[in-house]
Structure 1
Amino acid sequence: MTALVLALTAGAVIGLALGALGGGGSVLAVPALIYLLGFSPVGATTASLVIVTLTSVTALVAHARDGHVRWRAGLLFAAAGIAPAMLGGALAARVPAVVLTAAFAVVAGAAAVRMLRTRPPADAAVTVRPGRAAAAGAGLGAVTGVLGVGGGFLAVPALVSVLGLRMREAVGTSLLVITVNSLAALATRAGTVERLDWTVVGPFVGAAILGAWDGKRLSAKVSGHTLQRTFAVVLLAVAVFMLVDAAL
């Protein structure tokens, strides 16, 4: 299978995940870029940030139109994560590839387990606690910078379990967090962005954007609990695969 076909296929799947689940795009993009398209871990994390940033903006617009974005909670998360994301991005190039892969797997697995153990809250009023939102946002920003992920696969469970948002609102709000954190992390990786293979990254982005629109429509037809469990199972499977690969 050619690199173009692989890029289009992987991009469509990742866009679908971002549109429907508000996360999981980067946690799928990084292994796809490494194992299917031959990118180095550092190159894959940088390309993932580009892909996820552009796709998240598209999905965010769609979710915002339906009123599923909690702007205050999202901006608190995002603002607290900007500096840690930039610092993490600057440090990422110094982390050995095997450590980067193993750390990615561990974080993804932990998030998946937490999601499987937490049920979406009932449709009650939500009170956003600024301190908790800022603390969680700073942690997410650091992970985004170092691991090259948008942070959605951690933002969604944090927004659900820490702040008590309903799943659909957590999905929409996480896209705002992903966009800001990814842009901050990319600001420290300008040199590596220039060296990306755009004949692969370009089609990947295009397919992901189209997939995000389909994912948004899917999210309107599936229950929040089903979305949450699907999201967690995918994360756990990817985490196990990458951890085994790092250990070999």
Structure 2
Amino acid sequence: MELTLLSSLDPYAILAGFFFSMLIFLSGVGAGVLVVPSLIVLFNLEPTLAVASSSFFAFLAKVLMTVGHAKQGGVNWTVGRKFLYLCLPVTILSALSLTLVSDPEMRVTVDRVLMLLVLLAGLLSLASMFTKRIKEVLSRLSLSWLSGITGFLMGLTGVGGGVLVVPALSSSGGLSVKSAVATSIPVGLILSLAVSITFGSRGVMDYALVASLMVGCVVSLPLASKLFSRFSEESIKRITGLFIGVALIGLVEALLESMQLI
């Protein structure tokens, strides 16, 4: 039994899980915007399956990450609950709408739209990280608006848990950046659980890949916890932005291939 379990683990997925978890813990960003395009490009998953598997991995990983951030006292539970009131039901409805698509031709179109949405969400993530103008625009939106937009993106693409939650909590929520990162982890945990249950109940999930990713996650978290207090916010932002950028370039290529443009 143990040998069968070990042989089913993918060393490349374990390595990927290590780096994914490191970046998610440090920045609060990456559970969707980095993992989803990476699963599509590196592991050849269909977009819907990538969203489902990424969300399940994000849920399991963030259970452990929440414990780590809670011990450091950075999680603001009150603001986190307030954000989820609207975001959670919108997330569930958006994810459910994807599972209702059964026509093969329509499925191809939906997959292309999903890749495009992930790409756009990724570009929004990079813009919000490095452009003051985007941060100013986000800061003008109410927490309810940002919550609803996050739920829509999260349900359809698995992206949004960090992309919009961190800016929302640090602007409209009034939290410091590090407190917003810490609070975004349990918020993303709940959202990822909702998405993974919605897809998993329809049989859309790659459990073997998720298991390999989680091995890398467990190995990385002790190191990530130590680095969180030592890395500056600027360093974390640059490292995360670099990996997201590389993942999005690969996603662009995969999207063009699916449209037979290259």
TM-score by length of 1: 0.85
Show the 5 A alignment for 1:37-56: 37-56=43-62
Q: 1:219 aligns with which of 225, 228, 245?
A: 228
Q: Distance in 2 between matches of 1:68 and 1:16?
A: 17
Q: 2:144 aligns with which of 134, 137, 141?
A: 134
Q: Counterpart of 1:147?
A: 157
Q: Distance in 1 between matches of 2:204 and 2:110?
A: 19
Q: 2:124 aligns with which of 83, 101, 110?
A: 110
Query: Which amino acid letter does the alignment assign opposite residue 185 of structure 2?
Result: L
Q: 1:243 aligns with which of 228, 243, 252?
A: 252
How far the C-alpha of 1:172 sits from its partner, in A, is: 0.3
Q: 1:98 aligns with which of 112, 133, 137?
A: 112
Is the aligned partner of 1:163 residue 2:177? no
Is the aligned partner of 1:33 residue 2:39? yes
SS of equivalent to 2:240:
helix
How far the C-alpha of 1:53 sits from its partner, in A, is: 0.4
How far the C-alpha of 1:242 sits from its partner, in A, is: 1.8
How far the C-alpha of 1:75 sits from its partner, in A, is: 1.2
SS of equivalent to 2:163:
helix
Is the aligned partner of 1:185 residue 2:191? no
Q: 2:210 aligns with which of 201, 208, 215?
A: 201
Contact 2:52–2:200 (8 Å) recurs in 1: no
Q: Distance in 1 between matches of 2:145 and 2:13?
A: 36
SS of equivalent to 2:241:
helix
Q: How many residues align?
A: 237
Query: Which amino acid letter does the alignment assign opposite residue 230 of structure 1?
Result: I
How far the C-alpha of 1:150 sits from its partner, in A, is: 6.0
Q: Counterpart of 1:124?
A: none
Q: Distance in 1 between matches of 2:9 and 2:255?
A: 24
How far the C-alpha of 1:52 sits from its partner, in A, is: 0.3
Alpha-carbon distance change, 227 to 161 in structure 1, aligned in 2, over 3 angstroms: farther
SS of equivalent to 1:25:
coil
Q: Distance in 1 between matches of 2:84 and 2:72?
A: 21
How far the C-alpha of 1:46 sits from its partner, in A, is: 0.5
Is the aligned partner of 1:74 residue 2:80? yes
Query: Which amino acid letter does the alignment assign opposite residue 83 of structure 2?
Result: F
Q: Distance in 1 between matches of 2:96 and 2:17?
A: 26
Contact 2:58–2:192 (8 Å) recurs in 1: yes
Contact 1:14–1:26 (8 Å) recurs in 2: no
How far the C-alpha of 1:39 sits from its partner, in A, is: 1.6
Alpha-carbon distance change, 71 to 63 in structure 1, aligned in 2, over 3 angstroms: same
Contact 1:152–1:177 (8 Å) recurs in 2: no
Alpha-carbon distance change, 35 to 243 in structure 1, aligned in 2, over 3 angstroms: closer
Query: Which amino acid letter does the alignment assign opposite residue 209 of structure 1?
Result: V
Contact 1:7–1:204 (8 Å) recurs in 2: yes
Q: Counterpart of 2:104?
A: none
CA RMSD of aligned residues (A): 2.5
Alpha-carbon distance change, 243 to 38 in structure 1, aligned in 2, over 3 angstroms: closer
When Rg is computed on C-alpha atoms for both structures, the one with the higher figure is 2
Contact 2:121–2:160 (8 Å) recurs in 1: no
How far the C-alpha of 1:234 sits from its partner, in A, is: 3.1
Q: Distance in 1 between matches of 2:86 and 2:163?
A: 17
How far the C-alpha of 1:106 sits from its partner, in A, is: 0.6
Query: Which amino acid letter does the alignment assign opposite residue 81 of structure 1?
Result: C
